C-alpha cells in the first residue's frame, strides 16, 4: 500500500517535470516531437523519383534521384492503347498540318467518323454550351456575351457566312484555331468531343435542324458511348 502511494507520488513528480520541460521558452518551438513523420510528411513533388529516399535524407541521394524521372515521356510516335476498338481511331495522329493548304485539304477530304444523329447532336450541344456559346452565342449567330462586350471580333454566324463551311474545316479550325480570336481547342476537347461539337455546329448551320445527311444510325451512336 505504502509502496503504491510512493510509486504514484514519484510518477506524479516525473509527469510534472515532463510537463514543465515540455514547454520550452521558445513559443514557436514544437518541443520534442514524438513521431515526426506525423508532423512532417515528405513534400514529394510530381515527376521526381525519390526512390528509396522519400524523407530526403541526403542531398546527394536526392540529386541522383532527381536525375531519374519516374514519369518518363512516351517514346516519340507512341499511340495510346484503347481497349474499346471504336475509340482507337481517335488515338491516331491528326494527319493535317496547321497550314492554309492543309486547311483546304481537310475541308475536302476529312469526314466525321461518327454518323450524325440526334444523340450526337445532343452531346455536341452540351460541349458547345460549355466551350463555345460565350463567344458564338446560343444559336451560333456570333453574338455571345464575350463578343458583345467588345472584347472579341464577332465570328460569322453559322447559318450565315459560315453556312457552307464543311465539317473537315470545322474540325481543323477546332484543332488548330482560326486566326487570332478563335483558339485551338485541342487541349480542352479530345477528337471525339471535337467531332461531337462539330455535329452541333452543323446543326446550327442548318438553322437548328438535323441536316439532310443525318440519319438514325444507331451503330454510330453506340460507338460514341
CB-count exposure of residue 186 (10 Å: 0-12, 13-18, 19+):
middle
Q: Decide: 157 and 141 in contact? Cβ < 8 Å.
A: yes
Choosing from 48, 61, 62, 182, the residue that interacts with ligand HEC (CB under 6 A) is 182
Based on CB atoms, which residue is closest to ligand HEC, 119 or 197?
Answer: 197
Residues 102-107: contacts with CB under 8 Å, at least 24 apart: 102/172, 103/169, 103/172, 103/173, 106/168, 106/169, 106/171, 106/172, 107/165, 107/166, 107/168, 107/169, 107/172
Task: Measure the CA–CA gap between 61 and 50, rounded to whole angstroms.
Answer: 9
Nearest approach in angstroms of CB 128 to ligand HEC is 6
Site string for ligand HEC, 36-75 (x = CB under 6 A): ----------------------------------------
Choosing from 62, 146, 186, 210, the residue that interacts with ligand HEC (CB under 6 A) is 146
Q: Which residues of 73-101 are buried (b: 16+ CB within 10 A; e: fewer)?
A: eeeeeeeeeeeeebbeebeeebebeeeee
Instruction: Give the interface segment with ligand HEC, choosing from 10-18, 64-72, 92-100, 147-155 (CB under 6 A).
Output: 147-155
Hey, how many other C-beta atoms are within 10 angstroms of the C-beta on 18? 10
For position 162 contacting ligand HEC by CB under 6 A, the verdict is: yes
For position 149 contacting ligand HEC by CB under 6 A, the verdict is: no
Site string for ligand HEC, 119-138 (x = CB under 6 A): ------------xx--xx--
Nearest approach in angstroms of CB 167 to ligand HEC is 9
At 66, list the grid cell: 532527381
Choosing from 25, 52, 63, 179, the residue that interacts with ligand HEC (CB under 6 A) is 179
Binding site for ligand HEC (CB under 6 A): 131-132, 135-136, 146, 152-153, 155, 162, 165, 169-170, 173-174, 178-179, 181-182, 185, 197, 201
Amino acid at each position: 500500500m505504502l509502496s503504491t502511494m510512493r510509486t504514484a507520488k514519484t510518477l506524479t513528480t516525473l509527469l510534472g517535470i515532463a510537463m514543465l520541460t515540455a514547454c520550452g521558452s521558445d513559443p514557436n518551438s514544437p518541443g520534442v516531437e514524438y513521431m515526426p513523420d506525423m508532423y512532417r510528411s515528405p513534400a514529394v513533388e510530381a515527376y521526381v523519383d525519390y526512390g528509396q529516399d522519400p524523407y530526403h535524407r541526403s542531398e546527394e541521394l536526392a540529386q541522383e534521384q532527381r536525375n531519374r524521372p519516374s514519369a518518363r515521356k512516351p517514346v516519340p510516335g507512341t499511340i495510346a492503347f484503347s481497349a474499346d476498338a471504336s475509340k482507337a481511331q481517335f488515338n491516331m495522329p491528326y494527319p493535317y498540318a496547321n497550314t492554309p493548304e492543309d486547311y483546304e485539304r481537310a475541308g475536302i477530304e476529312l469526314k466525321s467518323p461518327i454518323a450524325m444523329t440526334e444523340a450526337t447532336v445532343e452531346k455536341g450541344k452540351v460541349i458547345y454550351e460549355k466551350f463555345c456559346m460565350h463567344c458564338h452565342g446560343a444559336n451560333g449567330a456570333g453574338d455571345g456575351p464575350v463578343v458583345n462586350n467588345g472584347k472579341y471580333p464577332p465570328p460569322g454566324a453559322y447559318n450565315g457566312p459560315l453556312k457552307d463551311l464543311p465539317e473537315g474545316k470545322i474540325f481543323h479550325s477546332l484543332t488548330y484555331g482560326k486566326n487570332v480570336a478563335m483558339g485551338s481547342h485541342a487541349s480542352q476537347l479530345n477528337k471525339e468531343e471535337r467531332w461531337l461539337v462539330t455535329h452541333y455546329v452543323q446543326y446550327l448551320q442548318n438553322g437548328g435542324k438535323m441536316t439532310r445527311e443525318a440519319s438514325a444510325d444507331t451503330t454510330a451512336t453506340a460507338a460514341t458511348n
